[in-house]
């Protein structure tokens, strides 16, 4: 590890040995649990996230919240108390988790075809098991997989990725916790990679507008890369499930 | 999940004939999977999957000050978190009742020094001790939470590495500790740690390891925690009332099954190899 805390070394390697435009290793699995309608597990580097989807089902807690033309999407973000290096006191309910729940809802509402399920509710729960930077992107990506596993119609994949700027000129992709601490602005983007639309963009620090274009470009490329990986996982999963049921009902 | 009368009768008849809905006998457990060391940055961890009950336990250790009334003892704290992933009922603060019930039962079960010796966690009398946080995350509830949690906790504590103290510098009120590297640690002694068994009374018979449907049919259940050959806590749950002779039968059954369960856990733990990180990807 470099001691002078450079984000990118002279030969172009980052602290964990990646190049500037490389994602961390993403491993994922659909259908990890049996009780939820859809579930997924996603590892992005050391960040580990579980997502579960329940629904569409009847609106819980009174019909006053129900909408006559849309389904409501209810998200809850929660972090295991042991997920960070320093033990957390509470798994949820603090400001950061409330904010992340709202952002997650925003990203998912943009892709779920809610108009198909009036008077109903879809619950998305994410649980962070290990936090090592890029929690929000990992949650969005895992939720997408869980929605697909639950068979809820979505317009397209919604993927998220972070990007940052190293040494004031090189954009970097997929920021780890260590790199977050060292500094540099972090740009979080949730996008629809196929149509190229952005559903959420968040900038953490003061940042010159001139750099925004290339960092955003980099983050969008990250989203497209993530989509490739997720798509591959979904196809593999569908193939496994399909072949184990003998492709029942498709012939 | 709610059952109708016919379904309840079906479960009841199954228990009477010693052939339960999933083909088990009254004293049988569902298949279990145990993994240790799956949370890389914790001092010890375990994940237990009992059919579709899923529990993840991680152990974290911090330096703390002992209680003034017990200067020679360390601290042990249990925290249960009911993840909403398990059931939407746990959303927000919904799982708190279950969580508190489980963590209080665990604290009671580990309370006695014969069960878990807190004096080994003392670093400096009255000044410094280790505080062990046992964090339990319920990821899926398929019945029989107590048994699954107690086994996972025992496995996680077995897996825990407590750092060794190399040097203590005392300067007035300041105490500085030099702690060994993670590669050089000692294991906790959990041979006597309790194992909990839930005994459920359905009709005229008692069963162990109830699934969700059977839990609904039960008139009452007893959770016994057994440490080696002694009971460490007994807890009666549910709304029904039990006759004292039935209660004794339940205790006897619980004791017998707990012994078998403990043996099975030890033989499994001794066979566990440090493997590649599989976790949830399996």
> What are the residues of chain B with a beta carbon less than 8 Å away from any beta carbon of chain A?
39-42, 45, 52, 54, 56, 58, 60, 62, 79, 81, 83-88, 91-93, 133, 135, 137, 139-142, 279-281
> How far is C-alpha B109 from the geometric centre of its chain's CA atoms?
10
- What pLDDT is recorded for position A5? 67
pLDDT confidence tier of residue A206, bands split at 50, 70 and 90: confident
**Coil, helix or strand at residue B210:** coil
Whether residue B33 is predicted with pLDDT greater than 70 in this model: the reply is yes
**Distance between CA atoms of residues B198 and B210, nearest Å:** 8
Chain B: closest CA distance from residue A4 (Å)? 24
pLDDT confidence tier of residue B100, bands split at 50, 70 and 90: very high
pLDDT confidence tier of residue B239, bands split at 50, 70 and 90: confident
- Read off the pLDDT of each residue in A145-166 and give the average, rounded to a whole number: 95
Chain A: closest CA distance from residue B218 (Å)? 22
Mean pLDDT of chain A: 91
- What pLDDT is recorded for position B78? 96
- Read off the pLDDT of each residue in A39-49 and give the average, rounded to a whole number: 95
pLDDT confidence tier of residue A250, bands split at 50, 70 and 90: low
Q: A130 and B39: CB-CB below 8 Å?
A: yes
Tell me the chain B residues in contact with residue A125 when contact means C-beta distances shorter than 8 Å.
83-85, 88, 91
Contact A119, B75 (CB under 8 A): no
Chain A: closest CA distance from residue B268 (Å)? 23
- Read off the pLDDT of each residue in A143-165 and give the average, rounded to a whole number: 95
Residue B141 CA: distances (Å) to CA of A37, B53, B194 = 14, 5, 21
pLDDT tens-digit readout, A3-27: 456 788 888 899 889 999 999 999 9
**Distance between CA atoms of residues A92 and B47, nearest Å:** 21
Mean pLDDT of chain B: 91
Element (H, E) at B154: helix B145-159
Residue B32 CA: distances (Å) to CA of A114, A162, B156 = 39, 39, 15
Q: A80 and B41: CB-CB below 8 Å?
A: no
Tell me the chain A residues in contact with residue B54 when contact means C-beta distances shorter than 8 Å.
33
pLDDT tens-digit readout, A207-229: 888 989 999 999 999 999 999 99
- Read off the pLDDT of each residue in B227-255 and give the average, rounded to a whole number: 90
Residue B203 CA: distances (Å) to CA of B5, B6, B200, B220 = 14, 14, 10, 10
Instruction: State what percent of residues in chain A have pLDDT above 70.
Output: 97
Query: Going by CATH, does the domain composed of B10-272 fall within 3.30.420.130?
Result: no
**Distance between CA atoms of residues A98 and A199, nearest Å:** 18
Q: Which residue has the tokens 């029904």?
A: B240
Q: Which residue of B has its CA nearest to A32?
A: B280
Instruction: State what percent of residues in chain A have pLDDT above 90.
Output: 71
pLDDT tens-digit readout, B52-94: 899 999 999 999 999 999 999 999 999 999 999 999 999 988 8
Output phi, psi for B181, to 5 deg: -70, 165
**Coil, helix or strand at residue B134:** strand
- What pLDDT is recorded for position B277? 59
Tell me the chain A residues in contact with residue B52 when contact means C-beta distances shorter than 8 Å.
33-35
Query: Going by CATH, does the domain composed of A26-243 fall within 3.30.230.70?
Result: yes
- What pLDDT is recorded for position A3? 46
pLDDT confidence tier of residue B40, bands split at 50, 70 and 90: confident
Whether residue A2 is predicted with pLDDT greater than 50 in this model: the reply is no
Whether residue B163 is predicted with pLDDT greater than 70 in this model: the reply is yes
- Read off the pLDDT of each residue in B123-147 and give the average, rounded to a whole number: 93
Each domain of chain B, given as residue ranges in start order, spans 10-272
**Distance between CA atoms of residues A244 and B5, nearest Å:** 35
Each domain of chain A, given as residue ranges in start order, spans 26-243
| Closest to A79 (Cα-Cα) out of A105, A55, A101, A60 | A101
- ipTM beyond cut 0.95: no
At CB < 8 A and 24+ separation, what contacts does B31-36 make? B32/B151, B34/B151, B34/B152, B34/B155, B34/B265, B34/B268, B34/B269, B34/B272, B35/B278, B35/B279, B36/B155, B36/B156, B36/B158, B36/B159, B36/B269, B36/B272
- What pLDDT is recorded for position B272? 83
Instruction: State what percent of residues in chain B have pLDDT above 90.
Output: 69
């Amino acid at each position: 590890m470099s001691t002078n805390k450079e984000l990118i070394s002279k030969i172009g390697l980052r602290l964990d040995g990646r190049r500037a435009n490389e994602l961390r290793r993403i491993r994922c699995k659909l259908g990890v649990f049996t009780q939820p309608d859809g579930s997924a597990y996603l590892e992005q580097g050391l960040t580990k996230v579980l997502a579960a989807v329940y629904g569409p089902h009847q609106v819980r807690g009174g019909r006053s919240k129900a909408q006559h033309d849309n389904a409501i999407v209810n998200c809850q973000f929660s972090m295991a108390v042991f997920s960070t290096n320093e033990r957390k006191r509470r798994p949820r309910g603090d400001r950061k988790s409330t904010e992340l729940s709202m952002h997650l809802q925003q990203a998912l509402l943009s892709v779920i075809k809610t108009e198909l399920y009036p008077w109903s509710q879809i619950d998305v729960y994410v649980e962070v098991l290990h936090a090592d930077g890029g929690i929000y992107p990992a949650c969005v990506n895992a939720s997408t997989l869980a929605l697909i596993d639950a068979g809820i119609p979505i317009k397209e994949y919604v993927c998220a990725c972070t990007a940052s700027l190293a040494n004031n000129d090189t954009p970097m992709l997929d920021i780890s916790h260590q790199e977050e601490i060292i500094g540099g602005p972090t740009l979080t983007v949730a996008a629809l990679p196929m149509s190229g639309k952005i559903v959420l963009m968040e900038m953490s620090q003061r940042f010159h507008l001139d750099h925004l274009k290339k960092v955003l470009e980099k983050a969008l490329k990250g989203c497209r890369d993530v989509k490739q990986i997720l798509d591959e996982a979904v196809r593999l999963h569908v193939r496994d499930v399909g072949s184990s049921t003998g492709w029942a009902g498709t012939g | 999940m709610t059952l109708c009368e016919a379904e309840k009768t079906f479960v009841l008849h199954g228990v009477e004939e010693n052939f339960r809905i999933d083909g088990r006998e009254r004293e049988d457990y569902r298949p279990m999977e145990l993994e240790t060391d799956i949370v890389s940055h914790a001092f010890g961890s375990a994940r237990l999957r009992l059919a579709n009950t899923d529990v993840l336990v991680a152990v974290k250790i911090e330096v703390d000050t002992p209680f003034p009334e017990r200067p020679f003892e360390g601290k042990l704290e249990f925290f249960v978190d009911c993840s909403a992933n398990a059931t939407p009922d746990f959303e927000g603060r919904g799982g708190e009742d279950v969580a508190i019930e489980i963590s209080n039962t665990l604290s009671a079960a580990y309370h006695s020094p014969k069960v878990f010796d807190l004096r080994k966690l003392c670093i400096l009398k009255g000044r410094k001790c280790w505080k062990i946080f046992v964090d339990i995350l319920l990821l899926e509830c398929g019945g029989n939470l107590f048994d699954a949690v107690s086994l996972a906790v025992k496995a996680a504590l077995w897996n825990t590495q407590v750092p060794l103290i190399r040097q203590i510098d005392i300067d007035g009120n300041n105490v500085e500790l030099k702690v060994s590297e993670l590669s050089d640690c000692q294991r906790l002694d959990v041979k006597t740690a309790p194992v909990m068994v839930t005994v459920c009374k359905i009709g005229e018979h008692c069963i162990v390891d109830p699934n969700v449907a059977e839990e609904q049919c039960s008139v009452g259940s007893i959770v016994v925690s057994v440490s080696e050959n002694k009971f460490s806590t007994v807890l009666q749950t549910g709304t029904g009332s039990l006759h004292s002779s039935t209660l004794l039968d339940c205790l006897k059954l619980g004791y017998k099954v707990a012994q078998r369960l403990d043996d099975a856990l030890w033989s499994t733990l001794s066979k566990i190899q440090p493997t590649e990180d599989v976790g949830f990807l399996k």
